[in-house]
């Protein structure tokens, strides 16, 4: 079965499974309302309705519930469906719009928000408490445990209570289903967030492999430590009983001139470990508005927390540069931003990489928090020759007059700059109708690259 057919099968299986789950939930909700309004001749115990059996259900939705140990958890499945219904069957909650004739408004105990554009009910923690507990205070207190930080809902980033205004009851917050779980339970796809105003990170990939990365043996050894961590560093810490004393995750600083392989190394680490790499350009997301930077970064860390993403902070100097003592509101605000981001980085259980052109640009107090600081130097002439040969393997497309060893020895350029040289040279050859690149093409392209960098040859 090809990928398109697989995706269609997953979508259809989810639709069938969710239809059964919605029918079950609707029966539970109707029974709760019968009990609340003391209707006669109908059941008043919501537990007479057994949740659908998921043991032989092939849908990604059912597999997720089984994987997280929720298949036999009546309360958790009720809350999960409440959170999902605005996305999959919003009209199923219209019964909760019933008005209290005494107050001429919605029943307080039903909870729920009215959205700005969505005309249906957005369920809150109060809605969940009503459906599961009615007016039973003991059960209400038990339900609060579903929203604890150590519950699987929070640990696996399935659902949470939206942040509420200070002073408001905890259950007044809206139920928020996380996008990843929603995508898996509906379309069957894995959600891959993309750069936006609210998510200042971009997933980066590469078609290169480790052979294309030319580094010194010392740098390779340092990179291997990160690869080893990705392959099972947490298990190693547990075996040696160090997990109680060391912070989770791995943090490294990459520093060196532009084009020396910092970004490529980050993407290759992710490719080798089978995890996504997200680049955060701090120079573009630091906001002048108080609280916005923290809010933007919280969104990235909240989504990354349970996914093993590699977080790659480019242009790290923008926020982690040397601090100056100051008592102005702007200085205090900047220090708060840095303190918040540093705390999130330290608590992140995955790999965090910071990139800077100069190690000296990074505050020493921050650099000490990282497990390694890896210098990516400009390649020497031997490494430059290897880079040239990687660009033109077996001299493919090169004229007889091209002397790669001489070019490598004469021109100090980074790997990124050499790639630009090759790009310009082959474009000129194409423009002239040639299928080979000459020494003159490469010399001209090198001259152009030096001029761009403010140098002459």
Distances (CA, A) of 29 to 24, 101, 130, 159, 165: 9, 21, 9, 20, 28
Among 26, 25, 28, CA closest to 134: 28
> 365 and 389: one domain?
no
pLDDT interval class at 197 (50, 70, 90):
low
Q: Which of 341, 375, 409 is the last residue of a domain?
A: 375
The domain of 273 spans 202-375
Q: Which helix (H) or strand (E) holds 254?
A: strand 250-255
334 and 437, same domain (yes or no): no
pLDDT tens for 150-188 read 899 988 889 999 876 677 888 999 999 988 899 999 998
Region 346-366: mean pLDDT is 84
- Higher pLDDT: 94 or 333? It is 94
Q: Is 151 domain-assigned?
A: yes
Q: Which of 322, 348, 375 is the last residue of a domain?
A: 375
Q: How far apart are CA 334 and CA 322, in angstroms?
A: 12
Structure tokens at 3: 């990928």
* Cα(58)–Cα(361) distance, integer angstroms: 53
pLDDT at 286: 62
Residue 192 lies in a domain: no
Q: Across the strands, what pairs with 373?
A: 253
To which H or E segment does residue 55 belong?
A: none
pLDDT tens-digit profile of 403-438?
Answer: 999 999 999 999 999 999 999 999 999 999 999 999
Please state the length of the chain: 457
| The pLDDT value given to residue 311 | 95
Residue 29 lies in a domain: yes
Which of 375, 394, 422 terminates a domain? The answer is 375
Three-class secondary structure of residue 375 per DSSP: strand
**Judgement on whether residues 234 and 180 belong to the same structural domain of the protein:** no
Instruction: Kindly tell me if the per-residue pLDDT of 288 is higher than 70.
Output: no
Residue 420 is part of a domain; what is its CATH number? 1.10.8.60
Same domain, 239 and 108: no
Shared domain for 106 and 167, answered yes or no, is yes
Contacts of 254 (CB under 8 A, 6+ apart): 262, 265, 266, 353, 354, 355, 356, 374, 376
Confidence of residue 240 (pLDDT cuts 50, 70, 90): confident
Is 353 a residue whose pLDDT tops 80?
Answer: yes
Count of structural domains within the chain: 3
Domain membership of residue 60 (yes or no) is yes
- Ranked by mean pLDDT, which of 281-295, 366-380, 387-401 comes out on top? 387-401
Residue 120 and residue 135 share a domain = yes
**Is residue 288 located within the same domain as residue 349?**
yes
More confident residue, 328 or 259: 259
pLDDT of residue 331: 57
pLDDT on residue 176:
92
Structure tokens at 51: 């949740």
Residue 194: inside a domain: no
* Highest-confidence segment of 155-169, 190-204, 205-219: 205-219
- The answer to pTM > 0.75 is no
Strands (DSSP E) contained in 151-248 are 159-161, 175-177, 202-204
Are 226 and 351 in contact by the 8 Å Cβ rule? The answer is: yes
Tens of pLDDT, residue by residue over 374-404, are 999 999 999 999 999 999 999 999 999 999 9
Residue 324: predicted pLDDT: 53
Mean pLDDT of the 337-352 span = 84
If asked whether residues 58 and 84 sit together in one domain, one would say yes
What pLDDT score does 347 carry?
87
Of the listed ranges 23-32, 142-151, 319-328, 347-356, the least confidently predicted one is 319-328
Q: Which residue has the tokens 């009503």?
A: 130
Confidence of residue 336 (pLDDT cuts 50, 70, 90): confident
Determine the Cα–Cα distance for residues 236 and 296; give it in Å rounded to an integer: 33
Are residue 428 and residue 444 in the same domain, yes or no?
Answer: yes
Q: Which residue has the tokens 């152009």?
A: 448
Determine, yes or no, domain membership for 88: yes
317-339 core/surface letters (b: 16 or more CB in 10 A; e: else): bbbbbeeeeeeeeeeebbeebbe
Query: Are residue 371 and residue 273 in the same domain, yes or no?
Result: yes
Q: What stretch of H or E contains 440?
A: helix 439-452
Are 105 and 212 found together in one domain?
no
Please, which residues have CB within 8 angstroms of residue 295's CB and are 6 or more apart in sequence? none
Residues 393 and 367 in one domain: no
Domain harbouring 255, CATH code:
3.40.50.300
How confident is the model over 257-267, as a mean pLDDT?
94
Can you give the pLDDT at residue 114?
82
Q: Does residue 301 lie in a domain region?
A: yes
- The closest of 299, 346, 300, 302 to 320, measured between CA atoms, is 346
Per-residue model confidence (pLDDT) at position 29? 97
345 in helix, strand or coil? Answer: helix
Q: Which range has the worst mean pLDDT, 33-37, 116-120, 141-145?
A: 116-120
- pLDDT tier at 335, thresholds 50, 70, 90: low
Task: Say if 197 falls within a structural domain.
Answer: no
Average pLDDT of the chain, as a whole number: 88
């Amino acid at each position: 079965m090809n990928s398109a057919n697989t995706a269609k099968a997953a979508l259809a299986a989810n639709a069938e499974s969710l239809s059964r789950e919605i029918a079950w939930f609707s029966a539970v909700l109707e029974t709760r309302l019968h009990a609340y309004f003391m209707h006669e001749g109908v059941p008043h115990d919501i537990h007479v309705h057994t949740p659908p059996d998921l043991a032989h259900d092939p849908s990604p939705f059912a597999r997720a519930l089984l994987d997280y140990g929720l298949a036999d958890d009546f309360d958790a499945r009720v809350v999960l469906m409440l959170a999902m219904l605005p996305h999959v069957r919003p009209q199923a909650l219209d019964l909760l719009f019933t008005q209290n004739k005494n107050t001429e408004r919605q029943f307080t105990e039903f909870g729920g928000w009215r959205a700005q554009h969505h005309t249906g009910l957005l369920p809150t923690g109060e809605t969940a408490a009503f459906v599961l507990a009615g007016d039973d205070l003991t059960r209400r207190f038990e339900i609060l445990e579903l929203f604890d930080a150590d519950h699987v809902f929070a640990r696996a980033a399935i659902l949470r209570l939206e942040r509420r205004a200070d002073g408001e009851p905890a259950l007044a917050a809206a139920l928020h289903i996380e996008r990843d779980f929603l995508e898996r339970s509906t379309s069957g796809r894995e959600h891959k967030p993309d750069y936006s105003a609210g998510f200042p990170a971009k997933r980066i990939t590469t078609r290169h492999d480790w052979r294309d990365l030319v580094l010194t043996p010392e740098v390779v050894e340092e990179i291997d430590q990160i690869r080893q961590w990705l392959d099972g560093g947490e298990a190693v810490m547990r075996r040696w009983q160090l997990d109680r004393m060391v912070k989770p995750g791995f943090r490294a600083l990459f520093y060196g001139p532009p084009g020396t392989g910092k970004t490529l190394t980050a993407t290759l680490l992710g490719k080798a470990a089978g995890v996504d790499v997200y680049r955060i350009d701090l120079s573009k997301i630091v906001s002048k508005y108080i609280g916005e930077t923290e809010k933007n970064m919280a969104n990235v860390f909240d989504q990354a927390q349970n996914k093993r993403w590699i977080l790659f902070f480019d242009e790290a100097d923008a926020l982690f540069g040397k601090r100056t003592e100051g008592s102005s509101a702007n200085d205090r605000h900047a220090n708060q931003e840095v303190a918040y981001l540093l705390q999130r980085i330290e608590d992140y259980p995955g790999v965090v990489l910071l990139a800077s052109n100069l190690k000296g640009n990074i505050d020493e107090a921050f650099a000490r928090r990282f497990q390694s600081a890896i210098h990516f130097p400009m390649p020497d002439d031997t490494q430059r020759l290897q880079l040239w040969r990687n660009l033109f393997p077996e001299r493919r497309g090169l004229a007889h007059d091209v002397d790669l060893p001489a070019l490598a020895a004469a021109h100090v350029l980074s790997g990124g700059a050499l790639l630009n040289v090759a790009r310009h040279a082959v474009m000129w050859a194409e423009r002239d109708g040639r299928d080979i690149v000459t020494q003159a093409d490469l010399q001209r392209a090198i001259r152009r690259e030096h001029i761009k960098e403010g140098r002459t040859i």
